[in-house]
Amino acid sequence: MSKQKTAIAPTRAENYSEWYQGVLKAADLAEHSPVRGCMIIKPWGYGIWENIQKILDGMIKDTGHQNAYFPLFIPLSFLEKEAQHIEGFAKECAIVTHHRLEKNKEGKLIPAGELEEPLIVRPTSEMIIGHAFAKWVESYRDLPLLINQWANVVRWEMRTRMFLRTTEFLWQEGHTVHATREEAEVEAKKMLDVYVDFCHRYLALPVISGEKTPSERFPGAVDTYTIEAMTQDRKALQAGTSHFLGQNFSKSCGIEFQTVDGSKEYGWTTSWGVTTRLIGGLIMAHSDDDGLVLPPRIAPTHLIIIPIIHDESNRSKILDYCENLSRSVKHHRCGNEPIKVFIDKRDLRGGEKSWGWIKKGAPLRLEVGLREIEEGKLSLFRRDKPHKERISLSAKELEEKIVSILDEMQSDLLKKATRFREEHTKKIDKLSDFHEFFSAKGDEIHGGFALCHWNGDPAIEAKVKEEHGVTIRCIPRGVPSEEGRCLFTGEKSPRRVIFAKAY
Amino acid sequence: MSKQKTAIAPTRAENYSEWYQGVLKAADLAEHSPVRGCMIIKPWGYGIWENIQKILDGMIKDTGHQNAYFPLFIPLSFLEKEAQHIEGFAKECAIVTHHRLEKNKEGKLIPAGELEEPLIVRPTSEMIIGHAFAKWVESYRDLPLLINQWANVVRWEMRTRMFLRTTEFLWQEGHTVHATREEAEVEAKKMLDVYVDFCHRYLALPVISGEKTPSERFPGAVDTYTIEAMTQDRKALQAGTSHFLGQNFSKSCGIEFQTVDGSKEYGWTTSWGVTTRLIGGLIMAHSDDDGLVLPPRIAPTHLIIIPIIHDESNRSKILDYCENLSRSVKHHRCGNEPIKVFIDKRDLRGGEKSWGWIKKGAPLRLEVGLREIEEGKLSLFRRDKPHKERISLSAKELEEKIVSILDEMQSDLLKKATRFREEHTKKIDKLSDFHEFFSAKGDEIHGGFALCHWNGDPAIEAKVKEEHGVTIRCIPRGVPSEEGRCLFTGEKSPRRVIFAKAY
């Protein structure tokens, strides 16, 4: 059997990791920069991020939060105030030590103006925001304090991969203070639910939500909640986290408030964030061997119209027709946003244009030539269907049906990703099955999410990680508790947790 | 005569600089952070920035530009490639030299993992974006390349003042490449016009646009264009700049393209930006001795409804009425945005609430008590009118008139600021008048924009700066050329330029 030609080589099955890089390049989403581990997000990739920002920002505001902006730099002494926190971030801090360049005797520019105290480029902002909150919060009347920030952060990671783990990345970080433990716990879970809802409805990402084990918690957190997506190589991708911080950061930052009865108490805080990593998750969940596949609700452009002009004398007739089509659909909506249309008038062959947009993952393509206009039959192509499969419709039908076609594509992608995850999620109750599940046969894609009983012992967790490269991704929420025996020790276990290889 | 009590003390006339700080604090826009020269932008201030971003981003996209994102860090060797550029920024660079923290023998955390090459936190991104553009541009078909970035930048300034000059600030920076000198020159001027239009229509800031003199150019630019606003202490505030960079940066970054006839040529580039400084300009143009005054089209909230509840038994009736009012106006628009309403239900006295919103500059306030509901006569207050001056109207009239009231306020603010600028702009043709114009009588606010003839000599410009603290703000555009004699040397001069003290 001859091999089908694909736009991306190698394919997912051949080499998943190179396929991922190939999709990024073919879709022109991002590229490496000359700065170690930092990427350049190109317009098509940044367009996705702008949509993520816009939609999620609305959801964050709808739940009562306000945006603000805090400094990029954090004095070293601030980070040190919370012992676990600094412990967790010390190894990956970009440090500003000087504030001027000066020529030395050889005429070479060198750092000068050494700072009295080094400044850390924020890896996260709990300590600098906490310092401000300590001044903003005086009484229970000031609570809850619900703040969000859109910002860039820097973590000096040793191994980087575009969108998934970069030295600098973009994110939002929510930081809140509450009068009671219960309220802060509710907030941390509520924002996790906002992330779940956003991933399902807009990214078509069927994430699983749950609680992290103590060894996987955010440095300084009491509880860390997570959403985990499954990639097409059946690994877990942590796609967002929400932390209940107890009074740990309040105590180290001095966030105290006067209670209703006049006593002083430390506030209960949370923090939560999602990053440009979501774009990596999006690519890994939906894309195929011909490139990116974008869920319509997050796509920078929904419909690409490709004019097919064989004879120059028809140019203006065909272009006018395309403009009319564009106008007819633009006042309809995909999700909350107006449908965006691009008429690709570039001086390239039609096939070249079509393949360009297939690789970029544009949800719908329409080819419009003289024949289509005269016959009144247009050919519409859905990116998630085989490339030759066309929807034949009139201009009027396009206008009437485009919203439902986009909605159907959106829900089909979610269904497909959900089915994929379900197919590769297994309850495992025998150690040999566990070994089998996570063992590669050559380079073949294998494994998935293993639902197993575990005795709660971090030592066992560490051993499994050591031996199999497999970690506990989360203790899933919303799953009925089920008595069982720890897969590794035979001890009693109250419920299953999810084991998987992870990005 | 007894002094009128004002919400901000000192007043503008008493101490302009302290008044400015007072407005920032009273309106809760921003505060100092523990990091030298960096501010915290609080929700009300950040809400203004979000509106600036949203509107200006639309205008930048409408003129054909796309957003992208480039790294925060620039390798030192990149900055050095353009001699004038590095010369201009060397004294104000935050420099990352290490990527890890380690404990020394005393257990103190110190910077470790020294970088082979120091990284500069971007003060502007010409060199890092230019490096990418050199790869993106191959042929004339790739041009024009029209890119914009929203980002934070850092310039280690010695004297800082919130919003006007901070170590870290937020901005957008446009970067474009063109095939011809003419096209790049047109672009630089076009984007300046976008800024002028934005400032006039949304910020109600009547800026003057023009060209900078060589000594005031951006480091590495061929021409720098500027927009200059007048503050209420009659100084000039540079509110945005646009640069025609010639082939200087193309040559240092290697941005070459194949022309139509197959030869190689360096691209012609531009860059242009506005920053969070615009918020400083906004405050200094419109605010008064009772606090901030916000032009409606940029205000985070347009209408504040204050329920006046004297008797708890009426609470739900009054609140329901307020909700209905809110619903009735929310589907109308102020500029391009839906009207935003806030019902202030806080447990505070009505007067306290009203004064809070006066200080924050909310455009409209409505006080709603039982009497107003029963009489069907509401009292609406415009922030730019005397505080006791009410517009008396019914609920129906409010719905019908709110758009025109907001529009009128918007245009009144622009008119008022324009009148102020015109009153304090003088043609000066005698050196003694120039001295007089820029000489303080005690602490009194004085001076303004002086339109004077100048011979074009940078030495004269430097001398005037030295002697009077006055600089040439710009060679204004759109002003008829007028032959005359240089005020300082008597030499011939083809047109007047604007001299002023500046922020």
- Judged by CB atoms closer than 8 Å, whether chains meet at B69 and A49 is answered as yes
Contacts of A145 in chain B (CB under 8 A): none
- The yes-or-no verdict on residue B1 having pLDDT over 50 is no
CB-CB contact of A434 with A450 (8 Å): yes
Run of H or E including B189: helix B181-198
Print the domain residue range for B489: 425-500
- Judged by CB atoms closer than 8 Å, whether chains meet at A101 and B95 is answered as yes
Predicted pLDDT of residue A1: 42
- Judged by CB atoms closer than 8 Å, whether chains meet at B100 and A90 is answered as yes
| Residue A339 and residue A366 in one domain | yes
Q: pLDDT tens, A246-294? A: 999 999 999 999 999 999 999 999 999 999 999 999 999 999 999 999 9
Predicted pLDDT of residue B347: 87
Predicted pLDDT of residue A4: 67
Predicted pLDDT of residue B4: 67
Q: How many CA atoms lie within 13 A of B344 on its CB side?
A: 25
Instruction: Kindly report the backbone phi and psi dihedral angles of residue A236, in degrees, each rounded to the nearest multiple of 5, phi listed first.
Output: -95, 140
Smallest CA–CA separation between B111 and chain A, in Å? 7
Q: pLDDT tens, A127-145? A: 999 999 999 999 999 999 9
Query: Is residue A158 assigned to a domain?
Result: yes
What is the per-residue DSSP string for B162-185?
Answer: TTTB-SEEEEEEEEEEESSHHHHH
- Judged by CB atoms closer than 8 Å, whether chains meet at A128 and B35 is answered as yes
| Residue A126 and residue A252 in one domain | yes
- For residues A305, A308, A313, A314, the Cα torsion angle rounded to the nearest 10 degrees is -50
Task: Kindly indicate the confidence band of residue B82, based on its pLDDT and cuts at 50, 70 and 90.
Answer: confident
- Residue at which a domain ends, from A380, A407, A434: A407
- Enumerate residues 1 to 30 of chain B having a beta carbon within 8 A of any beta carbon in chain A: none
| Residue B230 and residue B279 in one domain | yes
Query: Is residue A4 assigned to a domain?
Result: no
Residues with Cβ within 8 Å of B352's Cβ and at least 6 positions away in sequence, in order, are none
- Judged by CB atoms closer than 8 Å, whether chains meet at A68 and B42 is answered as yes
Smallest CA–CA separation between B389 and chain A, in Å? 32
Smallest CA–CA separation between A66 and chain B, in Å? 6
| Residue B487 and residue B340 in one domain | no
Of A46, A71, A131, the CB nearest to B68: A46
Query: Is residue A291 assigned to a domain?
Result: no
- Judged by CB atoms closer than 8 Å, whether chains meet at A109 and B80 is answered as yes
Tokens in use for B436?
């007089």
- Enumerate residues 65 to 124 of chain B having a beta carbon within 8 A of any beta carbon in chain A: 66-76, 78, 80, 86, 90-102, 109, 111, 113, 118-121
Determine the average pLDDT of the residues in B189-202. Answer: 98
Question: Which CATH number fits the domain that encloses residue B183?
Answer: 3.30.930.10
Alpha helices in A199-334, H assignment, sequence order? 248-253, 277-286, 315-330
CA distances, A84 to each of A80, B220, B286 (Å): 9, 46, 48
Instruction: Kindly report the backbone phi and psi dihedral angles of residue A210, in degrees, each rounded to the nearest multiple of 5, phi listed first.
Output: -175, -170
Tokens in use for B359?
């200080």
Of A40, A68, A69, the CB nearest to B71: A40
Residues with Cβ within 8 Å of B262's Cβ and at least 6 positions away in sequence, in order, are none
| Residue A21 and residue A134 in one domain | yes
| Residue A219 and residue A355 in one domain | no
CA distances, B383 to each of A123, B290, B386, B406 (Å): 42, 10, 8, 11
- Judged by CB atoms closer than 8 Å, whether chains meet at A168 and B72 is answered as yes
- Judged by CB atoms closer than 8 Å, whether chains meet at A95 and B98 is answered as yes
- Put the strands of the sheet holding A364-368 in their side by side order: A341-343, A303-307, A364-368, A378-382, A390-393
Q: pLDDT tens, B464-479? A: 999 999 999 999 998 8
| Residue A432 and residue A402 in one domain | no
| This prediction's pTM | 0.97
Determine the average pLDDT of the residues in B61-84. Answer: 95
Contacts of B41 in chain A (CB under 8 A): 68-69
Of B41, B71, B94, the CB nearest to A35: B71
Other residues' Cβ atoms within 10 Å of the Cβ of residue A396: 10
In 3D, which of B360, B375, B314, B366 has the Cα closest to residue B344? B366
Of A102, A141, A168, the CB nearest to B71: A168
Other residues' Cβ atoms within 10 Å of the Cβ of residue A380: 18
Instruction: Flag residues of chain A having pLDDT under 70.
Output: 1-4
- Judged by CB atoms closer than 8 Å, whether chains meet at B121 and A43 is answered as no
Q: How far apart are CA B345 and CA A352, in angstroms?
A: 60
| Residue B310 and residue B454 in one domain | no
| Residue B433 and residue B392 in one domain | no
| Residue A260 and residue A363 in one domain | no
CB-CB contact of A391 with A375 (8 Å): no
- Residue at which a domain ends, from A254, A286, A318: A286
A131 touching B (Cβ < 8 Å): yes
Contacts of A51 in chain B (CB under 8 A): none
Of A49, A80, A113, the CB nearest to B109: A80
Q: How far apart are CA B184 and CA B463, in angstroms?
A: 33
Q: How far apart are CA B1 and CA B19, in angstroms?
A: 22
A338 touching B (Cβ < 8 Å): no
- Judged by CB atoms closer than 8 Å, whether chains meet at B119 and A35 is answered as yes
Give the total number of structural domains in chain B: 3
Closest residue in B to A76 (Cα) is B109
Query: Is residue A64 assigned to a domain?
Result: yes
Of B33, B66, B74, the CB nearest to A71: B33
Q: pLDDT tens, B130-181? A: 999 999 999 999 999 999 999 999 999 989 999 999 999 999 999 999 999 9
In 3D, which of A111, A402, A66 has the Cα closest to residue B91? A111
Query: Is residue A232 assigned to a domain?
Result: yes
Predicted pLDDT of residue B3: 56
Alpha helices in A305-349, H assignment, sequence order? 315-330
- Judged by CB atoms closer than 8 Å, whether chains meet at B94 and A91 is answered as no
Question: Which CATH number fits the domain that encloses residue A354?
Answer: 3.40.50.800
Query: Is residue A5 assigned to a domain?
Result: no
Tokens in use for B270?
């531009």
**Interface test mutation site (partner B, options A101, A104, A360, max chain B beta carbons within 10 A):** A101
Q: How far apart are CA A336 and CA A344, in angstroms?
A: 25
| Residue A259 and residue A370 in one domain | no
Q: pLDDT tens, B273-319? A: 999 999 999 999 999 999 999 999 999 999 999 999 999 999 999 99
Smallest CA–CA separation between A309 and chain B, in Å? 19
- Enumerate residues 264 to 303 of chain B having a beta carbon within 8 A of any beta carbon in chain A: none
- Judged by CB atoms closer than 8 Å, whether chains meet at B101 and A109 is answered as no
- The three-state secondary structure class of A346 is coil
Q: How far apart are CA B75 and CA B71, in angstroms?
A: 10
Strands A471-476 and A208-211: antiparallel
- Residue at which a domain ends, from B286, B310, B344: B286
- Judged by CB atoms closer than 8 Å, whether chains meet at A70 and B46 is answered as no
- The yes-or-no verdict on residue B45 having pLDDT over 60 is yes
Query: Is residue A154 assigned to a domain?
Result: yes
**Interface test mutation site (partner A, options B69, B79, B131, B340, max chain A beta carbons within 10 A):** B69
Determine the average pLDDT of the residues in B401-412. Answer: 98
Query: Is residue A9 assigned to a domain?
Result: no
| Residue B338 and residue B472 in one domain | no
Tokens 């500003």 locate to A96
A58 touching B (Cβ < 8 Å): no
Determine the average pLDDT of the residues in B375-382. Answer: 96
Q: pLDDT tens, B333-352? A: 999 899 999 999 998 998 99
Question: Which CATH number fits the domain that encloses residue A440?
Answer: 3.30.110.30
Burial class (CB in 10 A: 0-12, 13-18, 19+), B264: exposed
ipTM surpassing 0.95, yes or no?
yes
CB-CB contact of B245 with B222 (8 Å): yes
Predicted pLDDT of residue A479: 81
Tokens in use for A406?
């986009």
Mean pLDDT value across chain A = 96
HEC assignment per residue over A114-172? EEEEEEEECCCCHHHHHHHHHHHCCEHHHCCEEEEEEEEEECCCCCCECCCECCEEEEE
